[in-house]
Amino acid sequence: MKTVLVTLPVEERHKAKLEAAGAGCRFVYCGLNGATPELVQQADIILGCVPAGMIQASPRLGLLQLYSAGTDPYIVPGVLDEHTVLTNATGAYGKAVGEHAFAMLLTLQKKLHRYRDAQRAHAWTDFGSVCSLSDCTVLIVGIGDIGQSFARLCKALGAHTIGVKRRPGGCPPCVDELCLTEELDSVLPRADVVASFLPGTGATRALYTAERFAAMKDSAVFINCGRGNAVQTQVLIDALRSGLIAAAGIDVCETEPLPADSPLWDVENLLITPHVSGNFHLPDILEKIVELSADNLKAYLEGGSLRNIVDFETGYKK
Same-domain pairing of 51 and 158: no
Same-domain pairing of 225 and 291: no
pLDDT in tens, 122-132: 999 999 999 99
Residue 317, domain member (yes or no): no
* Higher-pLDDT residue of 27, 312: 27
Same-domain pairing of 21 and 108: no
Residue 307, domain member (yes or no): no
Mean pLDDT score across all residues of the chain: 96
| Residue tagged active-site, from 100, 114, 227, 254 | 227
Same-domain pairing of 186 and 115: yes
- Confirm whether 275 is a catalytic residue: yes
Report the C-alpha gap between 290 and 67 in whole angstroms. Answer: 9
Same-domain pairing of 147 and 220: yes
pLDDT in tens, 49-86: 999 999 999 999 999 999 999 899 999 999 999 999 99
What is the C-alpha R_g of the chain? 21
- Confirm whether 256 is a catalytic residue: yes
Same-domain pairing of 200 and 224: yes
What is the domain extent for residue 118?
Answer: 94-272
Q: How far does the chain reach from its first CA to its final CA, in angstroms?
A: 30
- Could you tell me the pTM of the whole model? 0.94
Same-domain pairing of 233 and 178: yes
Same-domain pairing of 15 and 79: yes
- Confirm whether 122 is a catalytic residue: no
Work out whether the CA dihedral 247, 252, 253, 256 comes out positive or negative. positive
Work out whether the CA dihedral 280, 283, 286, 288 comes out positive or negative. negative
- For residues 164-188, give the mean pLDDT: 95
CATH number, domain with residue 56: 3.40.50.720
- Residue 119 Rama label (left phi>0; alpha psi -120 to 50; beta): alpha
Same-domain pairing of 108 and 203: yes
| Residue tagged active-site, from 11, 211, 256, 287 | 256
Report the C-alpha gap between 211 and 222 in whole angstroms. Answer: 14
Report the C-alpha gap between 315 and 43 in whole angstroms. Answer: 23
Residue 312, domain member (yes or no): no
Residue 313 has pLDDT above 90, yes or no: no
| Residue tagged active-site, from 166, 205, 241, 275 | 275
Residue 216, domain member (yes or no): yes
User: Number of structural domains, the chain?
Assistant: 2
Residue 154, domain member (yes or no): yes
